[in-house]
Amino acid sequence: MLENRTPFGIGIKGRSTIKIAKDRPGQLRKHGLPSSGAMHWYGDLILDSQSERLATAWIEAPTEQPAQFRPTRVMAKISAALDKHGELSMRRIQAAVGGKSANNRLAIDCLILDGYVSERSPHELLRPYFKEDQ
């Protein structure tokens, strides 16, 4: 699956995330990093278009996110929304919490990896998250 992060175009350097869901015989998941929804982040496809006639493409390996940044305020908002409304899809979490969807996706990933929220969608609150939990 490709997830667009920055747009592609003539004279533009674009980037899409490559995620793998099912890969039993391919053995590619072991080269990626765990991501949300039982997906694995395999890498990023980068396409650098210098002109209408010349473009360079490559795949960058996934890299761990710096441990120091965690959207704890957004994580607490998502936890509160799930506590109030029950199970919610990512789209409904976005509607309940507001803000940038990229921050909300990172926050839900952190909550899933830390065991606060279920991985399957609609997401279920497994235990409340408070900003002081860190």
CATH of the domain at 125: 1.10.10
Q: How confident is the model at residue 28 (pLDDT cuts 50, 70, 90)?
A: confident
Domain of residue 89 covers: 72-133
pTM (global) more than 0.75 = no
What is the average pLDDT score of the chain?
87
Asked whether residue 46 is domain-assigned, the answer is yes
* Whether residues 55 and 95 fall in one domain: no
* Whether residues 47 and 90 fall in one domain: no
Which one is predicted more confidently, 112 or 29? Answer: 112
**Structural domain tally of the chain?**
2
Reply yes or no on whether the pLDDT at 105 is more than 80.
Answer: yes
Q: Which pLDDT score, from 0 to 100, does residue 129 have?
A: 93
The residue among 95, 93, 129, 96 whose CA lies nearest residue 111 is: 129
Mean pLDDT throughout 83-100?
94
Distance CA 120, CA 110 (A): 14
* Whether residues 56 and 85 fall in one domain: no
Asked whether residue 33 is domain-assigned, the answer is yes
Which one is predicted more confidently, 113 or 32? Answer: 113
